[in-house]
Structure 1
């Protein structure tokens, strides 16, 4: 199984897609059990391959649909704390979206007590269709940044 992961992870992928796959695997890894997480990711790819699209491209587009562009940071000015909107760096965008997708899959797993592969593929398909918990987190973050845009002049970094 590991040879399949190595072969498919390098064929026809650009640097950003490779980085997203590595982050999906490494963020889920617990106690150094990377082979177990790779097996889960492999099964997720098989579930997503049942659609008409390429599974890796589908994952990439799904994560692109959920990626946040802006966030809020707490800034203290003369004793008051303001939520100041700011632009998110590309690496942090990827980290946030991977964490949101994995957390949503974990919540679905505890709620419905099904396998992680099924939950992860369902959450990736939800993100591809622009719905689900991860997309809702992004919309809440955008709403918060929009309501606090009057404090944008406090952003000096």
Structure 2
């Protein structure tokens, strides 16, 4: 039996408008300084703009598709073996895949200069929906790095 005490995962309450726990987690990641109502307003307006850009009736389905396109499947972790450090490719667990995709989307939309967070988020989600943009490039770079280090895959444990 493990001697470590593992943290218990808390369930996130679904958001009030779309009744989605995934969107509630996204709202919590966008939120700064505890201002959840501001984060909700930003995201709901960005989702409306996203739905108009990709010409879909359901903004939640467009958001979920954009997030699915941004999720990475592989990443590299450093392993020290016999004095040498290898970049070992590993598969990413589903909860980490989701959180990485959300973090990338939020960071890239915040870094868009001269745009409000609302517009930047709508643009980044539309880019992810169409499999282009900076978030998808980051995902491809992560996959490329894992592919390049495939020779060290036997070091994973």
Higher helix share: 1
Task: Give the alignment's TM-score, normalised by structure 1.
Answer: 0.86
Q: What is the distance in 1 between the residues matched to 2:76 and 2:84?
A: 15
Structure 1 counterpart of 2:147:
146
In the superposition, the TM-score normalised over structure 2's length comes to 0.86
SS in 2 for 1:68: coil
From 82, 86, 108, the counterpart of 1:82: 86
Q: 1:49: how far off?
A: 3.0
1:9 corresponding residue in structure 2: 18
Q: Distance in 2 between matches of 1:60 and 1:136?
A: 19
Aligned Cα root-mean-square deviation (Å): 1.1
Aligned residues: 141
Which of 75, 87, 112 aligns to 1:71? It is: 75
Q: Residue in 1 aligned with 2:103?
A: 99
Distance in 1 (CA, whole Å) between partners of 2:137 and 2:94 is 20
The gaps in structure 1 that reach 5 residues or longer are 11-17
2:51/2:62 contact within 8 Å kept: no
